[in-house]
Structure 1
Amino acid sequence: MTQFFLSRAVGDDDSYAIRFFQDLSAKVRVISGVDGDVGFVETVESGSRSPWSTAARNALADCQTFVALCSPRYFLSERCGRQWSIFAERLRRYEKETGRRPPALISVPWGDSGGGEAVRQLIRLRSHRPRYEALLASVARQIMETIEEYQIPPMSPSFDPAKVPNAFGYAEVDSTDHAESGSIGQKPPRKDLVEAVSQRVHFIVAAGTRAEMDTVREDLRFYGERGRDWAAYRPALAEPLVAHARALAAEQLFGSDVAELDDLAERLDRARRNNEIVVVLVDAWITKLASYRRMLAEFDSHAEPSVAVLAPASLTDAETVRHGGELRAGLTRALPRNLARQDQLVRIEIDSPESFEVDLVAALEEAQNRIFSHGRVFRRPAQDEPVDRPILQGP
C-alpha cells in the first residue's frame, strides 16, 4: 500500500519538489514505523509528457492519501488534472458506499494559487526552516491519521489514465463535472482564476479523420475518429499531437483549448478581441481534399501575422517522406501568404517530436511578443460578484 501520492507539475522547481517528497517521506516513516517506501512521486526523468508508468498507475490505484503541490503550473497541467480526477473518483466511490468523507486530498500551496505562503520558498531559506519542519509534520500527521481512520479500497491499476477526464480541462469538462471531481470538498480552481495566471492559446487542428484520410493515403495509423486525434509522430509519440502541444504550452504557463479547422474563424475573432494566441497544426495531407483546401485558402486570404502555423512531417512516416515533394507543393498552393512570411511563426516539414517542441515553444514566445507590441489595450470588465478563491483542503 502506498501511504501518499505526491502530485506535482514537472518543471515547477523540480529539485525542491523532490526534496519535499523526500523530507515528507522521512516524517511519515518516523510516525508510521515503516522502514522503506511510503510514498510515490514521478521524477523528472518520467516527465510530464512520457507514457504513464506501471508504478504511477499502481500508486494512484492504491494510495491512501493524495498530496497536491498547488501552483499556477499545476492547474495548467493535464497530467496533474487526470491524477486529481482518478483519486477524487476513488474518494467519491468510498463516500457513496460508507457515507464518510476522508480528508485524504491534501493541498500544499506550492505557488501563489494555493492561498498561502509558497512552500518552495520555505524550503529555499534557512531562516524558514522551523516553519518548514512544522508544515512537514502537519502533513505527515494528516496522512497517518487519515490512514488509521479510513481504509480507501484500491481500484484496478489496469485503467487507462489518458482516458480519464482532466479535472482542470475547462474547454472539455463542464461545471457539473468539476463539482463531482471535487465532491469530497476539494474543488478544482475556477476557470477565471486559472486564466488569470496565464495567456490563452487556441490550438486549431487542421487534420482529417481516419475515414477522410482513407481516400487519399494508405497508412491510417496516425488518425482517429476526429481530426484532433491526429498523432503525427506515432509511434515515437503515441498521443495526439495537440495533447502534446497543450502539455508543452502548460509548461510555459499558457492555458489552452482545442478546436478543429471549421472553427478557425470564430477562434481568430476571439483571439483578436482578447489578445490571445492562435496556433494552427496542419497535416499536409489535407491539401489533397477539396473541402480542407478551401478552408485553408480562406484562412490564408486574411494574412494573420500573429498566428502560428506548424506542419509536422515525421521522418518515420515512410509514406509522408515518399510524397514529400507533392505535400510541400500542396501547402505552398494552399497557404502562399503564410509560407511567404518565413518567420518563427511558420514552420513546415517538422521532422521529429524534438523539433516540434523547439518550434512550438519559439512560436509561442514570438506570438506573445507580437501581441504585447501590437495587441489591443483594454480594461477587463469588473466582475459582478467577488471572485472566490479555490476551496482546497490542507494542513
Structure 2
Amino acid sequence: MSDTAVDTRTKTYFFLSYAHTAPLADARQAPVDHWVKALFDDLSDAVREAGARSPSREVGFFDGLVAAGEDSRERITDALGEAEVFVPLCSRGYFSMSWPGREWSCFTSRLIGRPGEQVRRHIAPVLWAPLSRSQRMPGDVDPLRLAPDRREYTDNGLRALNMLSRYRPTYRDVIGRLAREIVTAVRECPLGTAKVRPVNAFPSAFHGQDTTEDFAVVVAAPTTDTLPDGREDGAYGTRATDWRPFGDREQLSLADHAVGIAERLSFSTRVLAAADAGRIPAHTPAVVLIDPWVTRDPKQLADLRRMFEGERGRWTLPLIVLDRADHQSEGDRTRLLDDVERVLADAGALTSETAQRGARGVASMEEFAEVMPVWVTEAERQYITHSGDLRPSEKAPPGGGRGIREPDGTRERP
C-alpha cells in the first residue's frame, strides 16, 4: 500500500528530473543548466499545444522555477506530489547522483499498488545523453521507446539534438511525441495529487542498480529525542541527519550541504546517522560530521567510536562543527572540543594531518564550505593508499580524482 493520501485534483502535467545535486540554500544554488531550461520551455509549449488544460500556475515543473527565498525542498516535494507524469532526463550522470534517485523514489511512492501499465504511463523517460551499455534503470523503463525510429535520438540523446541546429526537426518531433504521451496519460489515466513525505527522506531509487555510492557522509549528532538536558532543540530534528548547526541561517541540513559538495566532486554519496553506519560497506570512504554535544550521551559516543574501528577507520575522517555564534556553547566550547578530540584519539582516528585538523573543528558555514572538499578528496586518497583490495580499474587516474563531470553527467577521460 502507498503511504500517500490521494485527491483528484490535477495540478501539474509533468515534473522534469535531471542530473544535478541536492539543491542548496538560495545563495549557493548552482545556475540552471541552459539546455535543461530550454527543454522545459519547449516541452511546456508542446504540452499546451497537445491540449493541456491545467488549472495550475505551470503546465510543468522543474527546480529552476523555485523562486529566491522559497524553501526549495518543500517546493520540490509539493511538485512531486502534484505532477501527473515524471520525466527523467536519462544520462550516466543522472544515475550516478543520489538526488535524482530521491526524486524518482518520491514520485513512484504514489504508484505503489498500481498495475505495471499504469506505472509506465506515468513515467516518461527521455534519453538525454548516451548511457553505458551495462546501464540498468529501475523497473520497466526504456528511454529509447519514445522514438525508436529516430536514429539521431537513440544514438545521441535529446540534448545533442537540441544543441545542433541541423537536428532541430528531429528534436521537435521527439518533443511532440513526449507531449502527446503526457497529455494522453493525464486524460486516460489521471493520477491525481498526493501528500508525499519530504523528498530528502527517501532513499535513492538507484541503490542496488549499476551505480553504487562511492562516498558516505555520516552524522554524529543528537536528535530532538536524545538532546542533553538543557540543550535547545532549534538545530535538531527527528533524525541525526537533520542537524543544522548554524540554525536559521541555513535552510538545509549540514549533511545536505556535504552531499552537494561531494557530488559536485563526482562522488555518488550516501547519508547516514552514526547509529546506522554499520550499513556502509567497509570499502567506502567517509567523512563524519560531529556535533560535540554527542559527548554527553554514552550511546552516541559508542556509535561515534565504531566509525573508526578496523581498516575502515583509515579512510574515515572526522570533522567537528561547532557554531561560534551558538550561545549555549560559549562557556563550554574548549571543553566540548577537547572531549571529542580525546574520544577520537582513543579510537585511533587522528592518524593523519587532515583528521587532526578536523578535530580542531570549524565554526562557520564559510569554513565548512572551504574545508569539506578537502576532506572528501583526502578520504578517498587515504582509501586508495591503504586499501589492499582495490582492483586496478577502481584506482583514481593519474593526478587524483575521478575525472571531470561533463554537463551531461559523463566524465571526461583523464
The yes-or-no answer on 1:68 pairing with 2:85 is no
AA matched with 1:202 = A
The yes-or-no answer on 1:285 pairing with 2:306 is no
Distance (whole Å) between structure 2 residues aligned to residue 345 and residue 16 of structure 1: 43
Distance (whole Å) between structure 2 residues aligned to residue 355 and residue 291 of structure 1: 29
The equivalent residue for 2:151 is: none
> Aligned match of 1:219 in 219, 223, 232?
232
- How far residue 14 of structure 1 moved from its aligned partner, in angstroms, is 1.4
- How far residue 67 of structure 1 moved from its aligned partner, in angstroms, is 1.0
Distance (whole Å) between structure 2 residues aligned to residue 242 and residue 360 of structure 1: 11
- Are the structure 2 counterparts of residues 107 and 279 from structure 1 closer, same or farther at C-alpha, using a change threshold of 3 Å? same
- How far residue 19 of structure 1 moved from its aligned partner, in angstroms, is 1.1
Distance (whole Å) between structure 2 residues aligned to residue 149 and residue 335 of structure 1: 60
> Aligned match of 1:319 in 328, 331, 335?
328
AA matched with 1:166 = P
Per-residue Cα deviation, 1:139-165 (whole angstroms, up to 9, x for no partner): 122122223323332235xx4424753
The equivalent residue for 2:61 is: 40
Distance (whole Å) between structure 2 residues aligned to residue 263 and residue 103 of structure 1: 36
Distance (whole Å) between structure 1 residues aligned to residue 325 and residue 205 of structure 2: 34
Per-residue Cα deviation, 1:200-246 (whole angstroms, up to 9, x for no partner): 1233333344454324x522333455544543333333554334433
1:78–1:247 contact (8 Å) kept in structure 2 = no
The number of aligned residues is 346
- How far residue 311 of structure 1 moved from its aligned partner, in angstroms, is 1.1
- How far residue 296 of structure 1 moved from its aligned partner, in angstroms, is 5.7
Distance (whole Å) between structure 1 residues aligned to residue 231 and residue 53 of structure 2: 57
Distance (whole Å) between structure 1 residues aligned to residue 266 and residue 158 of structure 2: 19
- Are the structure 2 counterparts of residues 346 and 263 from structure 1 closer, same or farther at C-alpha, using a change threshold of 3 Å? farther
1:313–1:321 contact (8 Å) kept in structure 2 = no
Distance (whole Å) between structure 2 residues aligned to residue 33 and residue 211 of structure 1: 47
Distance (whole Å) between structure 2 residues aligned to residue 306 and residue 265 of structure 1: 15
Distance (whole Å) between structure 2 residues aligned to residue 351 and residue 44 of structure 1: 33
Distance (whole Å) between structure 2 residues aligned to residue 58 and residue 322 of structure 1: 42
Distance (whole Å) between structure 2 residues aligned to residue 162 and residue 52 of structure 1: 7
The equivalent residue for 1:252 is: 265
SS of residue paired to 1:343: helix
> Aligned match of 1:193 in 210, 234, 238?
210
- Are the structure 2 counterparts of residues 192 and 301 from structure 1 closer, same or farther at C-alpha, using a change threshold of 3 Å? closer
The equivalent residue for 1:177 is: none
- Are the structure 2 counterparts of residues 73 and 344 from structure 1 closer, same or farther at C-alpha, using a change threshold of 3 Å? farther
Q: Which runs of 5+ in 2 are unaligned?
A: 1-10, 22-29, 136-142, 145-153, 394-414
- How far residue 50 of structure 1 moved from its aligned partner, in angstroms, is 5.3
2:246–2:364 contact (8 Å) kept in structure 1 = yes
The equivalent residue for 1:149 is: 188
2:98–2:268 contact (8 Å) kept in structure 1 = no
- Are the structure 2 counterparts of residues 324 and 318 from structure 1 closer, same or farther at C-alpha, using a change threshold of 3 Å? same
The yes-or-no answer on 1:15 pairing with 2:26 is no
The yes-or-no answer on 1:333 pairing with 2:352 is no
- How far residue 192 of structure 1 moved from its aligned partner, in angstroms, is 4.0
The equivalent residue for 2:379 is: 367
User: TM-score, normalised on structure 1?
Assistant: 0.70
Distance (whole Å) between structure 2 residues aligned to residue 263 and residue 152 of structure 1: 35
Q: Which moved more, 1:20-29 or 1:129-138?
A: 129-138
The yes-or-no answer on 1:166 pairing with 2:203 is yes
- Are the structure 2 counterparts of residues 161 and 335 from structure 1 closer, same or farther at C-alpha, using a change threshold of 3 Å? closer
SS of residue paired to 1:75: helix
- Are the structure 2 counterparts of residues 266 and 147 from structure 1 closer, same or farther at C-alpha, using a change threshold of 3 Å? closer
Q: Which runs of 5+ in 1 are unaligned?
A: 171-190, 381-395
Per-residue Cα deviation, 1:34-90 (whole angstroms, up to 9, x for no partner): 69842211118669x954344x45543333322111234433555433432343243
The yes-or-no answer on 1:133 pairing with 2:172 is yes
The yes-or-no answer on 1:204 pairing with 2:218 is yes
Distance (whole Å) between structure 2 residues aligned to residue 40 and residue 291 of structure 1: 44
AA matched with 1:2 = T
AA matched with 1:194 = T
Distance (whole Å) between structure 1 residues aligned to residue 210 and residue 278 of structure 2: 27
The equivalent residue for 1:241 is: 254
1:72–1:253 contact (8 Å) kept in structure 2 = no
AA matched with 1:125 = L
Alignment of structure 1 residues 61-140 onto 2, 5 Å: 61-92=81-112, 103-111=121-129, 112=131, 113=135, 116=154, 117-140=156-179
Q: CA-atom RMSD, angstroms?
A: 4.0
Per-residue Cα deviation, 1:87-107 (whole angstroms, up to 9, x for no partner): 3243446659xx955612101
AA matched with 1:81 = G
SS of residue paired to 1:235: helix
Distance (whole Å) between structure 2 residues aligned to residue 139 and residue 129 of structure 1: 15
- How far residue 364 of structure 1 moved from its aligned partner, in angstroms, is 1.4
2:317–2:349 contact (8 Å) kept in structure 1 = no
2:287–2:379 contact (8 Å) kept in structure 1 = no
- How far residue 365 of structure 1 moved from its aligned partner, in angstroms, is 2.2
- How far residue 308 of structure 1 moved from its aligned partner, in angstroms, is 2.0
Distance (whole Å) between structure 1 residues aligned to residue 287 and residue 77 of structure 2: 32
2:20–2:99 contact (8 Å) kept in structure 1 = no
1:306–1:345 contact (8 Å) kept in structure 2 = no
The equivalent residue for 2:409 is: none
Distance (whole Å) between structure 2 residues aligned to residue 87 and residue 327 of structure 1: 42
- How far residue 302 of structure 1 moved from its aligned partner, in angstroms, is 7.1
SS of residue paired to 1:194: coil
Identical positions, percent: 23
- Are the structure 2 counterparts of residues 367 and 46 from structure 1 closer, same or farther at C-alpha, using a change threshold of 3 Å? farther
> Aligned match of 2:354 in 334, 340, 343?
343
Distance (whole Å) between structure 2 residues aligned to residue 379 and residue 232 of structure 1: 40
